[in-house]
Structure formats: structure tokens, C-alpha cells
Amino acid sequence: MRKIAVIVALESEYELVSKALGDKPGISLSLCGIGKVNAAVGATSIIERFHPDAIISSGVAGALDPELRPMDVIVAQRVAYHDVWCGGDNEWGQVQGFPKYFEADKELYSKAMSLNIEGLRIKGGLQISGDRFIDAGDVPGLIKLYPDALAVDMESGALSQTCHRYGIPFISFRIISDSADESSYSDFWSQAPENSFKVLESFLDTLK
């Protein structure tokens, strides 16, 4: 049986995902906290204690793609930092000695994009990440850096980098909480559990 680790950043996300996962065998759920350091420490701890066959990042993100709306789900095909600059010959967003983009596991991504859940829109592509809360005024600059970015969060970069270092397959699912135009779903935190359940339940079923 595969051992799968699911990591979330917020207590509210933990509660939602915990309800979605139930008591599935072989699945562990961890709360890491907000930001790069918490994400990296959380992922390292899980890898060294649980020795998972794959890590799933789940939670919320803010949309950059103007076509995305609250309650849509994005799957990260690759992840990049928006707040890293190491100088020299490194590209913006590239940690020296590492690739600029951390690619999702191809098998996991293919399975994720094959999901067909009624009433739920799933889109795959670039997720960007960094240690900043983002508001509407930041969006144009982020899009200039990464024109094809779908959404932004604070943990996926560090989680994907940690998995890259350890050779652990990684995939990130994020539910859009805010649109690029700052519109939000008024009942988000009561409706999000249903989306979390549908996505994770369906995805984990493909891994059996």
C-alpha cells in the first residue's frame, strides 16, 4: 500500500481536509504553518518520520489567472518562487544550485488532470509561491514575472523544493479563495469542505 502524506498550512485548512480524508489507511495529515520555513520543516519531519511514497500539498491560493474564480481548483504542474533572487547567473526565482521550476511528479499530475468531478472546475499549470501576503496591487508585478502563473500561495515553493531534495514525488492542489480582481466567495469556508472532499477523495482513489 502506498503511504501518502498530505500537508496543509492553516488550522482551518486542517479541519476541512481532515473531514475530507476521514480514516483512510496509509494517509497521514500534517499541519505545517504558514510560510517557507514552516513548510520546509514540516515536510522534512514528515519525510524522515513517515517515509511517504508521495506528498500532497492541499489548501487555498489566490488567483492570478483572471479566468479563475473562487472555489475553482488548481493543480500545480510546476512551482516557482516569486521572491527569490540569488544574483549572478541565476534567474529570478531560482535558488542557487536548484532548478528555477520544481516539476510535479508526472504520474501524479496526469492522474490529477484526469479527474472529472461534476460541478468542479480543475485547471493545471504554474503555481508561484513566496513569503508574502498578496493584494490586488501586487498582481500586475507577479504576472509580469510569470505571465503563465495561475495562482499564488506561501508554501508550495518550499514544499516542492524539499521534496526535490529528498526525491519524493510531489503534487499540489489548491482551492481558489480570491480572484485576481479581489472577488471572493462569501460562503467560502463552509463550501470549501465539499470541494476538498471531492478532489482528494477522487485523487486518492486513483492511487489505489
**Cβ distance 194 to 117 under 8 Å?**
no
Rounded to an integer, what distance in angstroms lies between the CA atom of residue 65 and that of residue 63? 6
Residue 155 designated active-site: no
Quick one: which of 15, 12, 9, 46 has its CA closest to 28?
A: 46
Length of the chain as a residue count: 208
Rounded to an integer, what distance in angstroms lies between the CA atom of residue 102 and that of residue 203? 21
**Would you call 8 helix, strand, or coil by DSSP?**
strand
Quick one: which of 59, 72, 71 has its CA closest to 32?
A: 59
Residue 131 designated active-site: no
Phi, psi of 134 (to 5 degrees): -110, 135
Residue type, 54: A
Catalytic residue, chosen from 13, 72, 153, 155, is 13
Rounded to an integer, what distance in angstroms lies between the CA atom of residue 103 and that of residue 96? 17
Catalytic residue, chosen from 11, 178, 201, 205, is 178
Give the catalytic positions in this structure: 13, 178
